[in-house]
Amino acid sequence: MADYYEVLGVERTASDDEIKKAYRKMSRKYHPDIAGPEFEDKFKEVNTAYEVLSDPDKRRMYDSGVDPNNPNASGGYGGDFDMGDIFGQFFGSAFGGGSQGPVPRTQPGRDSLASARIDLKTAVFGGTAHVSINTFGLCQQCGGSGSADGKTPVTCPDCQGKGMRQKVVRTMLGQMMTTAPCERCEGHGTIISDPCPSCLGHGRVRSSREVGVTIPAGIADDMRLRLPHQGEVGEGGGPAGDLYIDVRIKPDKQFARDDDDLHCWIQVPMSWAVLGHELPIDTFDGEQTVSIPAGCQPEQTVVLKDLGVTRMNHKEERGDLIVHVNVLIPSKLNDKERGLIEAFAESHDSGAKSISQTSKPTGSGKKGFFSKLKDALG
């Protein structure tokens, strides 16, 4: 029995969120469209492991020592055993098990995975991203039929359309009759007499195409979107699987995001911080005015309401834009400027001769702004 925990790289005590996170990481790593077709079996193994461990009932069954993906699995010694099924797996339809009909030529396609990188403004307002994917698409030459001349496949003369052939094999119990897929028609029961040269009778070809992805306003980083029927086209032109898009948000030079709020930092001269000032700043909504209050302290914030990120599922609501104010203290002063600063400090900050020391920020006992400026200038 496969160790599904080891396949996903998690402990047996892993939570549902840890299993989901590990699956998303492994599925991206081993998806054939990203890692290459040689990882197809590994990708299937990862999906099988997640299918079991993400289902509480299947996971409980697996933890008890029974693989839910084994059709003959039983929850304990008291389970029912179908001897016909058991013998059928070894000896074919002679015991009533293992008999199958022809395999349909048309099969559903698998899901595909891709990623899209968007800027922060697109995440705020929503928009469209274009993603290039390399996967199986419908063969345009034969329209998915797999036939070059458009003719319907004919019945296989070897298996008479059954898709399976019987043959005698020697076993420890003697000669036994078993069944196996017909080699000539590969189990389909029909033969394409003139296969399409483009897809070799498969009805699909690997190709690259660009897909437009609608990005919802307020989307978070590393969120996954699902595009139904935009994935891999199945064998015989079968219905396409789904396309999953992992969205990555690129860092922005002006703004940082915290949930639905945006943050930015501005630097202002000390005179603006002391006397107050109004200045324009660029936002995703265009130019806006920030009012610096008189007596503004370093790292004080000014909040611009409703200029943040759109709240998902609440398109009429947005977070805030929080402006952090950094005060620029001049490093050099001429004699006149120094004299003015010293005179102001003497009259305004004379009570700051002694300080109180605490383990937390406090508004009492702090040096005044100009005292800090005087200290900075030595």
Positions at the binding site for Zn(2+): 139, 142, 156, 159, 182, 185, 196, 199
In angstroms, what CA-CA distances link 319 with 30, 218, 259? 37, 10, 8
Q: What is the DSSP letter of 188?
A: S
CB 309 within 8 A of CB 286: no
d(CA 163, CA 102): 4
SS3 61: helix
d(CA 143, CA 238): 11
Instruction: For residue 335, give the H/E element and its range.
Output: helix 335-348
d(CA 9, CA 1): 16
The binding site comprises: 139, 142, 156, 159, 182, 185, 196, 199
Q: Sign (positive/negative) of CA torsion 194, 203, 153, 98?
A: positive
In sequence order, the 6+-apart residues with CB closer than 8 A to the CB of 337 are 330
Quote the tokens at residue 334: 């001429």
Quote the tokens at residue 297: 């302290």
Residue 223 phi, psi dihedral angles, 5° rounding: -85, 145
Bridge-based pairing state of the strands 261-269 and 321-328:
parallel
